[in-house]
Amino acid sequence: MSLHEKILLLKNEISKGVIGQDQMINSILIGLFTDGHILLEGVPGLAKTTTVKAVANAIDLEFKRVQFTPDLLPSDILGVQIYNMKTQEFSIKKGPIFTNLLLADEINRAPAKVQSALLESMQEKQVTIADNTFKIDKPFLVLATQNPIDQEGAYTLPEAQLDRFMFKVVVDYNNKEQEYEIAKKATMNSFETINKIIDKNTLEQIKEEIKNIHIDKELEEYIVDIICATRNPSDYALEEISDYIHFGASPRATIDMFKAVKANAYIRGNDYVSPLDVALVIKDVLRHRIILSYEAQAQEINVDDLIQKIIEKVDIP
């Protein structure tokens, strides 16, 4: 069985426990295949946690979940140094961050100290407890969720933290047929058990194959043009949106776009990147990295609409 056939089998297996939400599943797989962290935004009950658990089960990965609250401490996530009175020695008790898949549930409820502690782990793939530094085993992926409608007791995520996420995926409601199927299976408790489809070694093989996916120079330049258009819209005849963007996307956006389009092409069964792959991931890569101006916020301008205007203006190769 080829690696691509295993990916199709993997997606089918995940769908046993998750009905619909194909975009969320694809995004999580892209994150896993490229070591990119994912931010999932959606109202409660849209199977965000269920999807992450299903992916962990199907890929034979260790999974841990942390419910973020305003009274959470960095040590609750990272771990703590404990003094043993019998041996009169200190020992390290590692926290839930030492895992493969960490679900940070309602991440925007955590205070600034917790955010900064998580930041090092996401970027450096290591944790500092007391004077000791520990490497986190690979693969390591943070899948964070936030609720867009309940802002009481919530902290706005810093831009530096948001930039560490490869994707910000907006999770929407299921359609009518999917909702009916969910309700039937949930009331009858008839969701199937998810079997392990691929192991960590297979995951590493997939990552290596994705690196070899071909992308034309013209398409690479097209991606860079889109990123640059978020910073200097007037250079691309986009004067009508220049007052709405305070800061454009960072260089990490370009790096993540290059990785994401290759992974998306691979999941679709192609050995080359097409403009469609760019279109399918661009909003997820950019929507959390474009900082709107006060004027845009006052007029309730949607960042996805600005990205769409940029896509329509920049010439496709």
Q: State the span(s) of the chain assigned CATH 1.10.8.80.
A: 213-313
* Superfamily of chain region 3-186: P-loop containing nucleotide triphosphate hydrolases (3.40.50.300)
- Six-digit token string for 290: 């474009």
How many residues are given for the chain? 317
Query: What residue type is assigned to position 5 of the chain?
Result: E
Q: State the span(s) of the chain assigned CATH 3.40.50.300.
A: 3-186
- Six-digit token string for 50: 């269920």
Pick the CATH number of 213-313 from 3.40.50.2300, 1.10.8.80, 3.40.50.300, 3.30.300.30: 1.10.8.80
First to last CA, the chain: 35
Distance CA 139, CA 190 (A): 31
CA dihedral sign, ordered 149, 151, 157, 159: positive
Helix orientation angle between 3-14 and 22-34, rounded to the nearest 10 degrees: 130
List the chain pLDDT tens, one digit each, 317 residues. Answer: 788 888 888 888 888 878 888 888 899 999 999 999 999 988 777 778 888 888 888 888 888 999 888 888 888 888 888 877 777 777 788 889 999 999 988 888 888 788 778 877 888 888 888 778 888 888 899 998 887 765 555 667 778 788 889 999 988 887 888 888 888 877 877 777 888 888 888 999 999 999 999 999 999 999 999 999 999 999 888 888 888 998 999 999 999 999 999 999 999 999 999 999 999 999 999 999 999 889 888 888 889 999 999 999 988 88
* Nearest to 165, CA basis, from 138, 139, 143, 136: 143
On the question of a cis peptide bond just before residue 139, with omega within 30 degrees of 0, the verdict is yes
Query: What residue type is assigned to position 179 of the chain?
Result: E
* Residue 41, C-beta contacts closer than 8 angstroms, at least 6 positions apart: 145, 146, 147, 148, 168, 169, 170, 171
Q: Would you say 230 and 292 are in contact if contact means Cβ atoms under 8 Å apart?
A: no
pLDDT at 255: 95
